[in-house]
Structure 1
Amino acid sequence: MKDLALGRMKAGTMNKTEVAYARLLETMKAAGKVAWYKFEGVKLRLADKTFYTPDFAVMNADGVMEMHEVKGFWRDDARAKIKIAADMYPFRFIAVRMQSKKNGGGWDREVFE
């Protein structure tokens, strides 16, 4: 069995922040704002042997597809991959970061188009 780097989850397993975001997506789905979403449901090829798997593929109620990335903090390679993917693919890419309760809670959003 391969050793996983510290702080990394096995593919297909959500961390606590991703679970919290999935709950938000489920609330949005119940409210009719989101038609569908899937955790790690899309794998995008960026170059030979280079892929990007957004945390969530999301279809809004209006049919617009978005790729959502849930971040606690950014690593340089992750920011580069989402920017490259946004240039290559016809989706809206959104990075979200959970705000602390002392900062009002909720989610910060950064859009890449």
Structure 2
Amino acid sequence: MRRSVQALGRLKVGAQNKTEASYEATVLRPALMAGDIAWYRFEGLKLRLADNTFYTPDYAVMRRDGLMEVHEVKGFWTDDARVKIKVAAEQYPFRFIAVRALAKKAGGGWQTEVFE
């Protein structure tokens, strides 16, 4: 019997981690209900960066004005993830936004960083 091996801490494709689910519940859903964004989808895009190198952002988001954004939700950054979002921002005509959850003792909420 063959078993699927998965890296420790890695979720199946299409499964949100707690930080991503919190971002959707506290930021994206309310923005959709308020009409600030027209649409969003978890792992809705897969961008080719080079041969055999892809980047799947956490959320594809369409703003009310039609501008497409890519939202990347991070608990912490790895060098590989930071390089991929920078390369993608250079190659694709989307607005790339990285968000990081702030600790409750720091006031909570989300810290944002825009890549252009």
Q: Which runs of 5+ in 2 are unaligned?
A: none
> 2:90 maps to which residue?
87
Name the Cα RMSD after superposition. 0.7
After TM superposition, which residue ranges in structure 1, 4 or more long, deviate above 4 angstroms?
none
One-letter code aligned to 2:94:
F
Q: Residue deviations 1:21-80, cap 9 Å, x none?
A: 111200011111111000000000000000000000000111110000000000100000
> 2:29 maps to which residue?
26
Q: Does 1:35 align with 2:57?
A: no
Distance 2:31 2:69 in 1: 14
Farther-moved stretch of structure 1 (4-13 vs 79-88): 4-13
Q: What is the number of equivalent residue pairs in this alignment?
A: 113
Distance 2:68 2:4 in 1: 34
Q: Which runs of 5+ in 1 are unaligned?
A: none
Q: CA deviation at 1:3?
A: 1.2
Distance 1:70 1:112 in 2: 13
Larger radius of gyration: 2
Distance 1:96 1:8 in 2: 19
